[in-house]
């Protein structure tokens, strides 16, 4: 995304970057942090943030070697991979996770690896199940067995009252994390994000591309709204939520939800574009309005005025014995819906 588009000008509020100033970074001193999804928009920003802390070790992992290459350039100024800072890891691969833990012996995990595109996952629920459910459970299982002190699962506002495959798969990840917390891993928690401004594949990126190319701007509904976060907010919130550890799930005060049509108009003005807006209708699994928590969840204040903690108030009676391999999308969809229905 071009720097000519600023968060404040498009979203209409200042970013809140007070999180790391609020919490003493000494809380992370001596930690060996395993970061999954480190090559993604949020993961890479978290990695850069952690790299500024003293006496903290980082192992950045991703299944995409090209993304690790880019992160290495940002962190090291080179991509020689001659240190133990970067490793290829697919969270679906349980033996690979075991090997990583054996070699690196992390004391903390930040789990940012996920599939996140709603429309694609509606068509391919098997991919959502394998990565967002099985992958998360794999990490939780080994982190618990290895007595990791902190585990942060990065989730999404689409997990509140989930209706999409994406939302349901991420909600299951929250429930699994909460269950491991309940059985004694008190440092295990989740954080819910709204839409991350300037992230790869974001709606902002799509609108900017369409405006600059002079092609129709595709909008699902003229009344659709979304919560937005600046990517630096998302990264600092992740670390702060893990240190706060005030409940099962954490959520940022992201201000009021914003009409996407208003965002389009602001971006047209900034980019000097006049593309027509084409209403294409809500996609399968897509909500008109996103939520930060559901009515059956309890919301609590935390020590930080801009962060709230959520009690899910739904629990697995016992940890499900998740099937590692599933054959097709229909089987995966049944598995996801079954996990939602049994709680």
Q: How far is Cα 206 from Cα 208, in angstroms, rounded to an integer?
A: 5
pLDDT bin (cut points 50, 70, 90) of residue 176 is: very high
Decide: helix, strand or coil at residue 308.
strand
Q: Is domain 24-195+228-254+294-341 in CATH 3.40.50.1820, yes or no?
A: no
pLDDT at 3: 44
Q: What is the mean pLDDT of residues 30-35?
A: 96
pLDDT at 323: 87
**Per residue in 97-113, pLDDT tens?**
999 999 999 999 999 99
> What stretches of 220-307 show up as alpha helix (H) in DSSP?
231-244, 260-271
For the chain, give the number of residues: 343
CA nearest to 108, candidates 24, 44, 29? 29
Residue 87 in contact with residue 80, Cβ under 8 Å? Answer: no
CA nearest to 258, candidates 13, 6, 2? 13
**Per residue in 265-293, pLDDT tens?**
999 999 999 899 999 999 999 999 999 99
How far CA 40 is from CA of 10, 63, 130, 180, 196, in Å, comes to 23, 10, 18, 26, 12
> Residue 258's beta-bridge partner residues?
226
Highest-pLDDT range among 23-27, 68-72, 74-78, 308-312: 308-312
pLDDT at 44: 93
Highest-pLDDT range among 50-64, 80-94, 99-113: 99-113
Q: What is the mean pLDDT of residues 314-329?
A: 91
Q: What is the mean pLDDT of residues 253-262?
A: 93
In terms of pLDDT, which residue wins out, 262 or 324?
Answer: 262
pTM of the full structure:
0.93
pLDDT at 2: 45
**What percentage of the chain exceeds 90 in pLDDT?**
75
CA nearest to 117, candidates 167, 64, 154? 167
Domain map of the chain by residue range?
24-195+228-254+294-341
pLDDT at residue 24 above 80? no
In terms of pLDDT, which residue wins out, 203 or 20?
Answer: 203
CA nearest to 175, candidates 13, 274, 320, 60? 320
């Amino acid at each position: 995304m071009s720097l000519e588009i600023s968060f404040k000008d498009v979203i209409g509020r200042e970013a809140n970057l007070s999180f790391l100033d609020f919490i003493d970074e000494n809380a992370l001193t001596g930690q060996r942090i395993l970061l999954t999804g480190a090559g993604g928009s949020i993961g890479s920003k978290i990695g850069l943030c952690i790299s500024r802390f003293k006496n903290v070790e980082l192992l950045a992992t991703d299944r995409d070697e090209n993304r690790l290459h880019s992160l290495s350039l940002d962190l090291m100024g080179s991509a020689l991979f001659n240190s133990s800072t970067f490793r290829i890891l697919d969270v679906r691969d349980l033996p690979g996770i075991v090997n990583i833990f054996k070699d690196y012996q992390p004391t903390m995990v930040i789990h940012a690896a996920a599939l996140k595109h709603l429309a694609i996952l509606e068509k391919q629920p098997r991919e959502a199940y394998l990565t967002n459910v099985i992958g998360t459970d794999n990490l939780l299982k080994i982190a618990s067995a290895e007595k990791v002190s902190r585990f942060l699962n990065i989730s999404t506002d689409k997990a509140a009252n989930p209706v999409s495959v994406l939302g349901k798969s991420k909600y299951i990840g929250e429930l699994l994390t909460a269950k491991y917390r309940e059985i004694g891993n008190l440092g295990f928690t989740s954080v819910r994000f709204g839409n991350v401004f300037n992230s790869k594949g974001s709606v902002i990126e799509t609108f900017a591309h369409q405006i600059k190319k002079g092609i129709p701007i595709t909008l699902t509904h003229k009344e659709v709204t979304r919560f937005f976060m600046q990517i630096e907010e998302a990264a600092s919130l992740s670390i702060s939520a893990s240190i706060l550890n005030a409940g099962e799930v954490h959520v940022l005060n992201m201000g009021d939800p914003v009409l996407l049509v208003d965002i389009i108009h602001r971006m047209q003005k900034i980019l000097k574009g006049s593309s027509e807006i084409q209403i294409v209708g809500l996609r399968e699994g897509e909500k008109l309005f996103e939520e930060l928590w559901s009515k059956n969840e309890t919301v609590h204040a935390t020590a930080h005025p801009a962060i709230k903690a959520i009690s899910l108030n739904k629990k697995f009676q016992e940890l499900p014995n998740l099937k590692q391999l599933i054959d097709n999308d229909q089987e995966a969809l049944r598995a996801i819906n079954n996990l939602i229905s049994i709680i």
